[in-house]
Amino acid sequence: MRLADKRILLGVSGGIAAYKSAELVRRLKDQGAEVRVVMTRSAKEFITPLTLQAVSGHPVADSLLDPAAEAGMGHIELAKWADLVLIAPASANLMARMAAGMADELLTTLCLATPAPVALAPAMNQQMYRNAATQANLETLASRGIQLWGPDSGSQACGDIGPGRMLDPLELVEHCCQQLASEPLLAGVRLLLTAGPTREALDPVRYISNHSSGKMGYAIARAAREAGAEVTLVSGPVALATPPGVTRVDVESAEQMHQAVMSRVHECDLFIGCAAVADYRPARVAEQKIKKTGDNDQMVLTLVKNPDIIAAVGALPDKPYTVGFAAETVDVEQYALDKLARKRLDMIAANDVSRAGQGFNADDNALTVFWHGGQAPLPLADKLTLARHLIALIARHYRP
């Protein structure tokens, strides 16, 4: 339980995303946190105090001027009680009032009175989020040290598509875990990570590749950096932005990726091989574009095996802690366990890429992680949430 003995004050403001707050409370308690809930007046239009009282195990506070509350845990006592104040959802209206320093109801008063860190999970219509006034308020709040967790982007209850979705409850729980950890999970750890596909040239315009988008590897890079690691990302060709704080090395072919890894692996503590590296490459690369000739409807290609990067790292006498990936379509567990032993890995994350909606090119994924003597399922989630859970699992088993 990563939040054992931690006290989290959850503020709920008015917005359709308030329906997620009950699950958020439950997920926080699953990690051992004690949770108390404060609601704004408008929040009660979307979810009842009784619901949040039932899942938290404590009465919900909603009145600044409640004489009964002052006799027990009034707004000052509640503000001092918290290790972290998290407002989820944080509406545009609430953030505007916070930016103005208002104390017009219990939740805004607590934010002024608490010595604890304050985090906001914005949730609103995409146009409201993009509005210049909202963006100015966000900048003001961030400049005062208030943390902004999100928002996510996607389809919204109103039918619009864009930024403004509240982060998933599990993702917010992970933020809380990292915020309240005594130190980041991978503080000072040097991580070398591969991601994306490789391209094996046939001629100057054609190549052999695969469907990897690099999204999982890039999510792991971001999650590891959030966890305090020094991250070097060796990336095949992808259409993704480099995560903040990550050093990126671009390569094309499996041989280039192998060279980039082996020249850096002795400087790392942890290696994660997430790239979808081509197993074979053409034996000969044509100097000019290969042309169709006559009535010949067939072309014969001779392929040779590429270097096995993860096996090469695992074979090193002073190898780093090594985590591999196994993207399979059948017998996922069998192939993953075989790869774990055969390539001398410390851990392997296996996924079934034959399932619709997860794996290659998808935004979501699910993994089963194996290590010597144990395994853990990581259920279907967006890839960043999944990456954060994977990094937390690796951190628990990694030994420098």
Residues marked as binding? 273-275, 279, 289, 307-310, 325, 339, 343
At 87 the three-state DSSP class reads strand
Interatomic CA distance for residues 48 and 27, integer angstroms: 19
Annotated binding-site ranges for CTP: 273-275, 279, 289, 307-310, 325, 339, 343
Closest CA to 124 of 102, 83, 157: 157
Interatomic CA distance for residues 114 and 106, integer angstroms: 12
DSSP state letters, 130-165: HSHHHHHHHHHHHHTT-EE---EEEE-TTS-EEEEE
Annotated active-site residue in 158, 176, 177, 268: 158
Phi first, then psi, for residue 319 (nearest 5°) are: -65, 150
Look up tokens 């039932």; give the residue. Answer: 54
**Tokens for 261?**
């890894």
Residues forming beta bridges with residue 351, ordered by sequence position: 327
**Residue 111 annotated in active site:** no
Contact 59, 72 (CB under 8 A): no
**Which residues of the chain form beta strands (DSSP E)?**
7-12, 34-39, 84-90, 118-122, 147-148, 152-155, 161-165, 190-195, 200-201, 207-208, 230-235, 247-250, 270-273, 280-282, 303-305, 321-328, 347-352, 364-371, 374-382
Interatomic CA distance for residues 367 and 298, integer angstroms: 39
At 97 the three-state DSSP class reads helix
Active-site residues: which are they?
A: 158
